[in-house]
Amino acid sequence: MTSINLYPKKYGQVLLKDKNIALKEVILLGDIMGRSVLEIGPGPGTLTEILLQKGSIVNAIEPDHQFYEILKLKFDTQLNGGSLKIEKNDFLELSGGTYDFIIGNIPYHISSPILFHLEKFHFMRSILMVQLEFAKRMVAQPGTDEYSRLSISTALRYKVKLEKVVKRGSFYPVPEVDSAIVSIEPNPVKWEYPPNLTNQILTEIFSQRRKKLKNIIKNLPEELMNKRADILTIEDLKKIMEIS
C-alpha cells in the first residue's frame, strides 16, 4: 500500500499537537475579536481554528497543496461566511500588507527570511513559534554568548520577547530541537540609515567577530576602536553609519 507523505521536508512540516500551546499563542496576540490576522503556514489548521473561534478575520497563507485542500474542507463554513481566506502561496512571495496581527508556527529552515520579510507588513504584534536557539539569538544582548548578527538586525527593527519555551514533545513528528514562542512588535522609531549599507557593514563586522573594529573599519571614533562584534550596540552602529 502506498502511503501519503504528510510531512515532506520541503515545507518544514512539524506540527503542533498540544492545543493548549496553540491557545497560549493566540492569547499572546491580545484581543483579536473583529481584528485581521495573517497566519503564516496554517498546516492542518490548529491555530486557525482557535483564531476563528476568538472572532478574528483570518488570512491564511499555505503553500502545501495537501494542507490547502484539507483546510478548505475543514473550514468550509468560515470560508463561505467571509471570516477566513486561504491563499495557496509562499509567504516570502507576498509583497506586503496591513494586518492587526501576524501569527505562525513557521518552518525553522526559513525563520530568518520570514522574520525579515515581516518588515514589508504593517502590524501591531506578531507571535511566532521558532527554534529555541534562534529565539535566544533574536533576543540576545551585547556581551552574551548568543549575541550575533541576528540579534542586532532584529533589534534594529523589532521589540522581541521570548515568551515561552516549548519542549519538542509538543510536536509531531518529534523534532530534534526545542522551540520557543516569541512576540514581536515593530520598533516605533525606524532605523534611519540605508538598509543595504547597514547590512554590508554588519556583514563585515560579524564575519570577522574576533577582530577589533579598528582593524575592519577606518576612521573610527576613539571609543569604538578596540571593540569587537560581540559587544557592538545599536548606538555604536549608529556612530559607524555616521562616518560611512
Ligand X SMILES: C[S@@+](CC[C@H](N)C(=O)[O-])C[C@H]1O[C@@H](n2cnc3c(N)ncnc32)[C@H](O)[C@@H]1O
Using the minimum distance from each CB to ligand X, give the nearer residue, 54 or 240: 54
Specify burial of residue 140 (Cβ count, 10 A radius: 0-12, 13-18, 19+): buried
Determine if the peptide bond prior to 107 is cis (ω within 30°): no
Point out which span in 74-82, 84-92, 149-157, 195-203 binds ligand X (CB under 6 A).
Answer: 84-92
The answer to the question of residue 50 lying near ligand X (CB under 6 A) is: no
* Smallest gap from residue 95 Cβ to ligand X (A): 14
The answer to the question of residue 61 lying near ligand X (CB under 6 A) is: yes
Point out which span in 40-48, 77-85, 187-195, 213-221 binds ligand X (CB under 6 A).
Answer: 40-48
Name the residue number minimizing CB distance to ligand X.
Answer: 41
Q: Would you say 204 and 217 are in contact if contact means Cβ atoms under 8 Å apart?
A: yes
Strands (DSSP E) along the chain, which ranges?
15-16, 36-40, 57-61, 84-87, 97-98, 101-105, 121-122, 125-131, 158-166, 171-172, 179-186
List, as own/partner pairs, every contact residues 167-171 make where C-beta atoms lie below 8 angstroms and the sequence separation is at least 24, other chains included: 170/16, 170/17, 170/18, 170/21, 171/14, 171/15, 171/16, 171/17
Annotated binding residue 90: yes
Q: Which of 23, 70, 92, 162 binds ligand X (CB under 6 A)?
A: 92
Using the minimum distance from each CB to ligand X, give the nearer residue, 16 or 57: 16
Annotated binding residue 204: no
Using the minimum distance from each CB to ligand X, give the nearer residue, 91 or 206: 91
What CA–CA distance (Å, rounded) separates 195 from 87?
30
Annotated binding residue 41: yes
Residues at the interface with ligand X (CB under 6 A): 11-16, 40-43, 46-47, 61-64, 67, 90-92, 105, 107, 110
Which residue ranges make up the annotated binding site for S-adenosyl-L-methionine?
16, 41, 62, 90, 105
